[in-house]
A and B are shown apart, each in its own frame.
Chain A
Amino acid sequence: MLASESSAALMSTVTAFLYREARLQDEHQYEAWERLWTDDGVYWVPANGGDIDPERQMSIIYDNRSRIALRVRQLMTGKHFTQTPQSNLRRLVSNIELMDQQPDNGDIAVASNSLIFESSLRDDTLWAARNEYRLRYVVGELRIATKKVVLVNNDKAIYTLSFLV
C-alpha cells in the first residue's frame, strides 16, 4: 500500500514535470527548457527506427549537453531563420508511464506519447512520437538525464524539425 502510494505521488510529480517541459517547448522558452537538463544530459532523436546505434548510425538529433546548449544558443540569436518567425506549436502529452524496469542508479525511467501540431511558414505539420526519459533528482529538483524521441515516421523523409521536440 505504501509502495503504491509513493508510486502515485511520483507519477503525479513526473506528470507535472512532463507537462511543464511540453509548455516550455511549445512557448519557445529555450533557456528555461535548457535548465531542465542534467549536466550530462543526452538528447536523442533517432532516424530509421528506434533501435539504431547512435554511435554508428545517423540520428536526426544526437546532442550531448554542450550541443544542447549550442542548439539553444542558435535559437536565441533570433537569426535561426527556420525559427524566425517561430513555429506556432501545441502538443498533447499522454500515456505517461513509469517503466516496470527501473535503472539501478536511482534514475527514473518514464515514457510518454506526444502529438504535436506545428504551424509554420511552410504549412501545418503533424508530428507524433514515443518519448523515453531518464529523469533524475538533482538537489531536490527533477531533471532530464536522457530524452529519446522516436518519431513515428522517422524512417521516411520528414520536413525540417527546428523546434524543440
Chain B
Amino acid sequence: MNVVPPTSQWNELIRPDRVHGSLYTDPSIFAAELANIWYRSWVYVGHESEVPNANDYVVKSIGPQSIIMTRDEQGKVNLLLNRCSHRGNQVCSYARGNARSFTCPFHSWTFANDGRLVGYAFPDGYEGQDKSQLALGRVTRVESHRGFVFGSFAAEGPTLMEHLGGAAETIDRLVRSSPEGEVEITAGFLKHRVKANWKFILENECDGYHPAFVHTSIFGVADSMIGKLYGGTSTALTRDYGNGHTEVDLRPEFRKRDQPMSWFGTSEERLPDYTARMKAAYGDTAARKIMIDGTPHVMIFPNLFIAEIQMFVIQPLGVDDSVQHVTALQFKGAPDLNRRLRQQTMGSVGPAGFLLADDSEMYERCHRGVLARNPEWIFLGRGEKRERRDELGFTVGHVTDEVPSRGIWHHYRKLMEAA
C-alpha cells in the first residue's frame, strides 16, 4: 500500500490562507509526515548538558522512534537507534544512566556507546562475519548549535545552520541570558500526553491570538502581566523566519517597560546575584539590554519550542497521539534565577499546569472538532492584509495575527511536495 499521497494533493490541501482539516486527522498523511519531515529534515533530539560526562546516556526520540543519546569515551555525542542489529530487541530499557556499553538481553549482543558491535554470545557461530556491518543504527547526521543537538536521517540536505536560518539568532539570544553563555537542561522533564495531532501543538506555540481567551482564568486570578502582551493594542510581533520557524517577539513591549527582568515578572533587586554576574559578564549596558529584552518565544520547526522560561519538545506518536516534553530552562551560573525558573515552570506547564492544561484541552477539542466534515477548511487568514517585512526581510505581523501558522504550512508543503 502506498501511504504517501500524490504530490499534487498538497497544493489542494494547503492554500495560502487555509488548510484542509484532513491534514490533522488522516492516518495516511501522518505516515507521510513521518517519512518526509520527521525522518528526513532536522529534528531536535536533546541537549549536550543532559550527557555531561563520558559514558552518560539519555533516551530521547525522533517521532515514535526511541533514540539513545550517548556521550562516548572520546566525548563525542552520538544518536543511536534503540534497536539491536540482531533481532530488533530494544538494547536500552532505562531513561538515563552511565554505561560504556549496552548489552541486548535477548542474545547478549553487546554494543559500545558509540554504536559499534563489540561482541556476541557463542561467536563460533558467526565465523567470518564482519562485526562492523552489524553496528547499532545511527541518526545519519548529528549537529548541534549552542548545545542543542539535532539529528537528520537524510544523508544529504541543508546543514543545521542552513535549516535554522534566521532562527539561529534566537538560540544565540537565549544563551546570552546566562552569565556564562550556556543553557543547561538539568531539571528533568514533565511528559504531557494529548489526544490530538502534533500540528495543533506546533501551531499554537506562536499563536498570539488565543492567550487572552484560553488563559483568561489564570490571568484573572494571578494578576498576570502576560495577558496585556497579547492584547489588541500590544506592539509585540509575530514573525516567520522561514523553514517553518516562527516567533512571538515580545521585545517591543519589554522595551517600552524599560525595566530589567520585567519580562520574567521580577526585578534586579530580587535577583541581586544574577544581576551582578550578568553585569560582570557583559558590562552594565549590554547586561541591561539583555535583561530588558528577555529570552525568546520561538518555535523551531518541527519540535523545539523555547517559551521564555521553559523548553518544550513535541513528539508525535500517532495521528491523534502526541507528547509534550517540557522542562525549565536553566542558565549556567544563575542559581537564583534558575530556582525561580523551575518554580514558575512547574506552576504553568505540564499535565497540571495553570496554562498548559487549558492549551491541551484546546488541542484535544480541535482534534475532535476537525473530524466534523464541514466546513472542510481551517481558516488562517488573520492579518494577511497587514503583514509586512521587517528590516531583515522576515515576514512580521501583529502579535495576534496568523503569520506563524501561514509560515509553518508554507514550509510543510515544501517538505511534503519534495518527497
A residues contacting B by CB (< 8 A) are 45, 47-48, 52, 55-63, 67, 70-71, 73-74, 77-82, 121-123, 155-162, 165
Contacts and interface: CB of A to CB of B under 8 A. Distances in A.
Contacts of A62: 343, 346
A144 B87 CA distance: 53
Q: Determine which residue in A60, A121, A160 has the highest number of CB atoms from chain B within 10 A of its CB, and name it.
A: A160
B302 to A, nearest CB: 18
Across the A-B interface, give the 9 residue pairs with the lowest CB-CB distance, nearest first. Answer: A157-B191, A157-B193, A82-B361, A73-B221, A79-B217, A77-B217, A161-B351, A157-B323, A57-B188
Nearest to B368: A121
Given A162-B361, A165-B352, 17 more contacts: A56-B342, A58-B350, A59-B346, A60-B351, A61-B352, A62-B343, A70-B218, A70-B221, A70-B354, A74-B221, A80-B217, A80-B357, A81-B358, A158-B191, A160-B192, A161-B352, A162-B352
29 contacts: A47-B190, A48-B95, A48-B188, A48-B189, A55-B339, A57-B187, A58-B328, A58-B345, A60-B350, A62-B343, A62-B346, A71-B354, A73-B221, A74-B354, A77-B216, A77-B221, A79-B216, A79-B217, A80-B217, A80-B218, A80-B357, A80-B358, A81-B217, A81-B361, A156-B191, A157-B323, A159-B195, A161-B352, A162-B352
A58 B187 CA distance: 6
A121 B365 CA distance: 8
Contacts of B381: none
B315 to A, nearest CB: 8
A74 B187 contact: no
Contacts of B190: 47, 58, 60
Contact of B327 (A58, A71, A82): A58
Given A67-B347, A157-B323, A161-B352, A56 B187 contact: yes
B354 A160 contact: no
A58 B193 contact: no
A70 to B, nearest CB: 6
A68 to B, nearest CB: 11
A157 B217 contact: no
Nearest to B343: A62
B272 to A, nearest CB: 20
Contact of A47 (B347, B350, B364): B350
Chain A interface helix/strand/loop/mixed? loop
A160 B364 CA distance: 10
A162 to B, nearest CB: 4
| Residue in B189, B192, B217 with the greatest tally of chain A CB atoms within 10 Å | B217
Contacts of B351: 60, 158-162
A64 B261 CA distance: 24
A122 B361 CA distance: 8
A141 B357 CA distance: 33
B360 interface: yes
B194 interface: yes
Nearest to B322: A157
Interface in B328-368: 328, 339, 342-343, 345-347, 350-352, 354, 356-358, 360-362, 364-365, 368
Contact of B95 (A70, A155, A162): A155
B251 to A, nearest CB: 28
A43 to B, nearest CB: 10
Contacts of A79: 216-217, 220
A79 B362 CA distance: 13
B214 interface: yes
A121 B364 contact: yes
Contacts of B364: 121-122
B194 A159 contact: yes
Contacts of B339: 55
A52 B193 contact: no
Contacts of A161: 351-352, 357
A140 to B, nearest CB: 31
A134 to B, nearest CB: 21
A158 B189 CA distance: 12
Contact of B358 (A56, A82, A157): A82
A67 B354 CA distance: 10
B418 interface: no
B71 to A, nearest CB: 21
A40 to B, nearest CB: 17
Contact of B188 (A52, A67, A82): A52
